[in-house]
Amino acid sequence: MNKDNIQKYIQSIINMPNEKAQAVVEKFELFELPKHQLLITENKQAKDTFILESGFVRSFTHDNLGNEVTTNLFSPVCFVNDFLAFFKQQPSSENFETLTPCVFWKMSYQHVQESFHNIPEFREFGRMMLVTNYSILQNRMLGMIKDTAETRYLKLMKQHPAVFQHVPLKIIASYLGVTDTSLSRIRKDISRK
């Protein structure tokens, strides 16, 4: 992805004049991370926000027994961040780990704030991102309460099919809130239908 594609991504979320979108995009820097690297570390402050160009990322934390629990899966193209911690400039409550080699674009907190103050459309873009991420979080929370494990699995397959080609089943099971064994059973049951 080049910066033109980042501009198209931003403009697909909110209508922003080209010159303003270009001013925002110019503040992004390209970088890569190999597989199994932490992009954001729990209890540390993130100084940048990220657009995932290629690859797969998960966010995770640990339960009270010390087990890893995957809280989100990210596939391209999307923003990746602990948005609350980033905007409050406080330590992240989760880890964000690359599951494959990844290509990112990053923008510093300072550049985000400057863009919010100088480009009203970018401020609206930021609001849209917060609302979108809140909606995703709410749907996930309600899905964990109301949906069966099989329904959660089918929703993930429908919404993010590429995850199943690139993310280990153990991590998918954790994200779905089931054991590896339960996930194997769900997959077998679905294949029989």
Question: Is the Cβ–Cβ distance between 71 and 13 less than 8 Å?
Answer: no
Q: Residue 175's domain spans which residues?
A: 148-193
Let me know whether 122 and 181 are in one domain. Answer: no
Residue pLDDT, tens place only, 173-189: 999 999 999 999 999 99
- Which of 84, 105, 93 is CA-nearest to residue 41? 93
Residue pLDDT, tens place only, 39-84: 999 999 989 999 999 999 999 999 999 999 999 999 999 999 998 8
The pLDDT value recorded for residue 1 is 61
- Which of 165, 146, 167, 147 is CA-nearest to residue 155? 147
Question: Is the Cβ–Cβ distance between 149 and 176 less than 8 Å?
Answer: yes
Residue 99 and residue 30: Cα distance in Å, rounded? 18
Let me know whether 188 and 109 are in one domain. Answer: no
Residue pLDDT, tens place only, 19-34: 999 999 999 999 999 9
- The pLDDT confidence band at residue 3, using thresholds 50, 70 and 90, is confident
- The pLDDT confidence band at residue 193, using thresholds 50, 70 and 90, is confident
- The pLDDT confidence band at residue 91, using thresholds 50, 70 and 90, is very high
Let me know whether 184 and 98 are in one domain. Answer: no
Residue pLDDT, tens place only, 108-166: 999 999 999 999 999 999 899 889 889 999 999 999 999 999 999 999 999 999 999 99
Let me know whether 91 and 163 are in one domain. Answer: no
Alpha carbon 119 to chain centroid, angstroms = 24
Let me know whether 157 and 132 are in one domain. Answer: no
Number of separate domains in the chain: 2
Whether 192 shows a pLDDT value over 90: the answer reads no
Let me know whether 139 and 178 are in one domain. Answer: no
Let me know whether 188 and 127 are in one domain. Answer: no
Let me know whether 127 and 66 are in one domain. Answer: yes
